[in-house]
């Protein structure tokens, strides 16, 4: 027989686990801008005039080129 107190206790445990998971997830969130240095040897971000680490500094073409570079480098690494 399930008691109401048991249900309340389980619901509280689930709520606590969800809270701790969401905090941990936000700390591990991936920010693509933090990894632009990986593409710098190929795309020369440092040589761009007034370049700052900001999404607005990158064009759609930059993201497309990074995607293609990433695919080519990973394919070469795994081959």
How many C-beta neighbours within 10 Å does residue 16 have? Answer: 10
Per-domain residue ranges of the chain: 1-30, 31-79
Alpha-carbon distance 32 to 68, whole Å?
15
Residue 52: its pLDDT value, please? 82
Instruction: Give the mean model confidence (pLDDT) for residues 3-29.
Output: 57
Residues recorded for the chain: 79
Pinpoint the alpha helices (H) of the chain. Answer: 4-27, 36-43, 60-78
Residue found by looking up tokens 């709520």 in the block: 15
Question: Which token pair is 72?
Answer: 């080519």
Q: What is the mean pLDDT of residues 19-39?
A: 68
Confidence of residue 19 (pLDDT cuts 50, 70, 90): low
Q: Is the pLDDT of residue 6 over 60?
A: no
pLDDT for 32-76, tens place per residue? 778 888 888 999 988 888 888 777 888 999 999 999 999 999 999
């Amino acid at each position: 027989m399930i008691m109401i107190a048991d249900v309340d206790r389980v619901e509280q445990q689930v709520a606590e686990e969800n809270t701790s998971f969401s905090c941990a997830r936000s700390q591990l969130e991936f920010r693509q801008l933090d990894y632009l240095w990986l593409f710098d040897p190929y795309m020369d971000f440092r040589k761009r005039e007034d370049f700052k680490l900001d999404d607005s500094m990158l064009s759609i073409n930059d993201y497309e080129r990074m995607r293609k570079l990433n695919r080519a480098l990973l394919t070469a690494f795994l081959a």
